[in-house]
């Protein structure tokens, strides 16, 4: 029975995630800290966490043209809705002769851009459709290590943090198919990361395990991620500042500025398990068993790494046992 097999591997299902983790660990009133990127940004700056610099904020329709003034000063910039979900509504732009150019070569006129911004303000991309703000911010430059495995976009690292303990992470590589976006169901590649060493393991593309990037043919396993400990540190501190018990932190590495957080997700998806070929349940349960209030930030990170190591071994063991049981 596949139910039992998934359970024996500790795979977290969406119902269980909602009922036992997000609903229990995330206080409703703290959701805006994750859902509203402006709040996240302000909070991160207060806590000394690196974020992409905010060039400008557009709150009202009469402010739309300020984006042009920003473009004069910063030829590369990103426009995003403050309350967009799953990377929706994000526009990466570079100033060019006839207006603005997207990474895929599409040209957007100033008028198009203003209309796009007014759509953001009207709540087109926001979660509940309520009025929103548009952020105009620094465009993250791809770090050299990722240049060969990212197609027209910036790879980001998603770290799941449970009660302040980083438990699992993956790297998301944009592809031609995903149009530069880092969303797995749009065709981006999910790559599992060894939590202790910060080295990529195997990649998953459309639920199939792959070893090389489909567009660049470069190997995607064995990549050592720079600033790994800093990234785990940032992720764990995101829990402390938002008081969200179960969250996904999206970190990017800028070529010159190093790691910075892009956004925090209060309902992180479950595909990370596919990318790591490991289940979350055992790790989350292990955190519940071993977490003590006295643990320092570093101790929490170490706990997460130990749990991840153990669980990887036990998961492999469990796999072996179930497959052996299936073939007597």
Partner 1 sequence: MKSVFKRNRIHLIIALFFLLLFLVPAAYKIFVLKYPVISRSSENLWAFELKINFRSSGKKDTLRHFLPKSEKGQTVLNENFVSEHFYFVIEREEGNIGITWKGDEHKGDMQLYYRATIETEPAAFSLPPRGEEKKYSAYIFQYLFLDEGMESVNVELSEFLGNLLQGTDSKLERARRIYTFLTRDVATVPLDKGSSLTTPIQRRQATISQKNKLFIHLCRLSDIPTRSVHGILLEEGIRQRNIHTWAEVYFQGMWIPIDIEKELFARLPDNILILYRGDDPFMTSAIKGIEYSYTVSRDRQSSFAQFYESTARLGSKFHEWSLFSLPVETQQVFRLILMIPLGAVVVSIFRNLIGINTFGTFMPVLIALAFRNTRLGWGLLLFSMVIILGLASRWYMDRLKLLLVPRLSIIVTVLVIILAVGSIIGQHVGVYRIMAVALFPMVIMTMTIERLSLLLMERGWQEALKVSMGTLAVAVFSFFVLSIHQIQEFFFAFPETLFALIAVQVLLGRYTGYRLTEYFRFASFINGKSS
Q: Which residues make up the interface to partner 1 (CB under 8 A)?
A: 2-3, 5-7, 9, 11, 13-16, 19-20, 61, 88, 111, 115, 118-119, 122-124, 186, 204, 207-209, 270-271, 273-274, 277-279, 315-316, 319-320, 322-323
Instruction: Give me the least distance between CB of 137 and partner 1, in Å please.
Output: 21
| Residue 265 or 281 having the CB closest to partner 1 | 281
| Residue 5 or 255 having the CB closest to partner 1 | 5
In contact, 184 and 170? CB cutoff 8 Å: no
Instruction: Give me the least distance between CB of 249 and partner 1, in Å please.
Output: 23
Cα three-residue angle 267-221-147, rounded to 5 degrees: 85
Instruction: Give me the least distance between CB of 171 and partner 1, in Å please.
Output: 18
Please tell me the distance from the alpha carbon of residue 301 to that of residue 192, in angstroms, as a whole number.
Answer: 18
In contact, 113 and 67? CB cutoff 8 Å: yes
In contact, 93 and 108? CB cutoff 8 Å: yes
| Residue 9 or 297 having the CB closest to partner 1 | 9
| Residue 118 or 196 having the CB closest to partner 1 | 118
| Residue 48 or 128 having the CB closest to partner 1 | 128
Instruction: Give me the least distance between CB of 126 and partner 1, in Å please.
Output: 11
Instruction: Give me the least distance between CB of 97 and partner 1, in Å please.
Output: 23
Q: What is the DSSP string of 286-313?
A: HHHHH--TT--HHHHHHHHHHHHHHHHH
In the 8-state DSSP scheme, what is residue 145? G
Q: Phi and psi of 93, rounded to 5°? A: -135, 150
């Amino acid at each position: 029975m596949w139910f039992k097999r998934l359970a024996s591997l500790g795979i977290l299902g969406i119902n269980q995630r909602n009922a036992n983790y997000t609903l229990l660990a995330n206080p409703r009133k703290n959701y805006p800290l994750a859902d509203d990127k402006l709040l996240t940004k302000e909070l991160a700056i207060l806590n000394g966490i690196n974020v992409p610099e905010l060039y400008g904020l557009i709150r009202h329709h009469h402010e739309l043209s300020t984006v042009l003034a920003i473009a004069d000063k910063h030829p590369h910039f990103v426009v995003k809705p403050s309350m967009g979900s799953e990377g929706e509504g994000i526009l990466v732009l570079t100033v060019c002769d006839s207006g603005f150019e997207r990474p895929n070569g599409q040209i957007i006129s100033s008028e198009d851009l203003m209309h796009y911004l007014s759509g953001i303000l009207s709540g087109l991309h926001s979660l509940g459709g309520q009025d929103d703000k548009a952020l105009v911010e620094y465009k993250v430059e791809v770090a050299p290590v990722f240049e060969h495995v990212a197609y027209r976009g910036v790879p980001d690292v998603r770290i799941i943090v449970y009660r302040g303990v980083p438990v699992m992470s993956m790297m998301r590589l944009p592809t031609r198919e995903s149009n530069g976006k880092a969303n797995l169901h749009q065709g981006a590649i999910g790559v599992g990361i060894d939590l202790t060493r910060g080295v990529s393991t195997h990649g998953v593309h459309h639920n199939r395990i792959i070893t090389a990037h489909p567009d660049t043919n470069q190997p995607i396993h064995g990549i050592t991620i720079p600033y790994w400990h800093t990234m785990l540190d940032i992720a764990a501190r995101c829990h402390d500042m938002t008081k969200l018990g179960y969250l996904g932190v999206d970190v990017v590495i800028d070529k010159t500025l190093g790691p910075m957080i892009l956004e925090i997700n209060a309902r992180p998806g479950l595909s990370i398990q596919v990318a790591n070929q490991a289940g979350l349940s055992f790790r989350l349960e292990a955190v519940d068993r071993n977490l003590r209030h006295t643990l320092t930030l570093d101790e929490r990170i170490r706990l997460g790494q130990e749990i991840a190591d153990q669980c990887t071994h036990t998961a492999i063991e469990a796999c072996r046992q179930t497959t052996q049981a299936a073939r007597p």
